[in-house]
Amino acid sequence: MTSSFQLLAPTPTLVGIRLTTRARAAVAVIGFALLTAALAQVRFGLGFTPVPLTGQTFAVLLAGGALGARLGAASQLLYVVLGAIGLPFYSEAQGGWDAATGSTAGYLVGFVVAAYVVGRLAERGHDRRIDTALPAFLFGSAIIYAFGASWLAIELGIPFAAASGESSALALGVTPFLVGDAVKIIAAAILLPAAHRMVERNTRPES
């Protein structure tokens, strides 16, 4: 009979199935940090807001789902730190302390927190099926928005929310990105369960 302790035990994440050494874990963390940096360069400026539309959030969701809470958050923290010390890892190949603490700093913090939370959900098997992966990734994106818009309101001296037609952190840092992030959420929710099925087929012992 399955014990309650077994039911509460974390489920191996996609990359966790293969991770058996610290060296492999380090490679995975560095790899996802570099993936986030690469997707940060996939950028579409919107003109009316200092926050660009980028591919970073897709990398954040994948990092949490594939690596789990601890390693997923570590990959995003590494990304933020490497950019802050001057490597051109942020959008438009920016780097340095000013870029790390500018108007998009809240989103960078949100990346770390979101990767951790999504990773926790993945460790409980939420990334194994599309119907459970979608709300997990939606929650992760909401975390990024919450941190990003809150800091944007402070940095620009504008309200978090305002009446229609007035500038607000929601209007500049959330609303313009909803459609694009919905596409990224759906893509991640399709990709990770499919990857799990592929890995499980390849690791299933032959009869």
pLDDT per position as a tens digit, 142-164: 999 999 999 999 998 888 887 66
- Total number of domains constituting the chain: 1
159 assigned to some structural domain: yes
> For the chain, what percent of residues have pLDDT higher than 70?
81
pLDDT-derived band at 42, boundaries 50, 70, 90: confident
- pLDDT tens-place string over residues 160-176: 887 665 688 888 888 88
34 assigned to some structural domain: yes
Supply the range of the domain harboring residue 147: 10-200
pLDDT of residue 3 exceeding 50: no
206 assigned to some structural domain: no
pLDDT-derived band at 54, boundaries 50, 70, 90: confident
Compute the distance between CA of residue 141 and CA of residue 137 in angstroms, rounded to an integer.
6
CATH code of the domain covering residue 85: 1.10.1760.20
- pLDDT tens-place string over residues 84-140: 999 999 988 999 999 999 989 999 999 999 999 999 999 998 888 899 999 999 999
How high does pLDDT run on average in the chain? 85
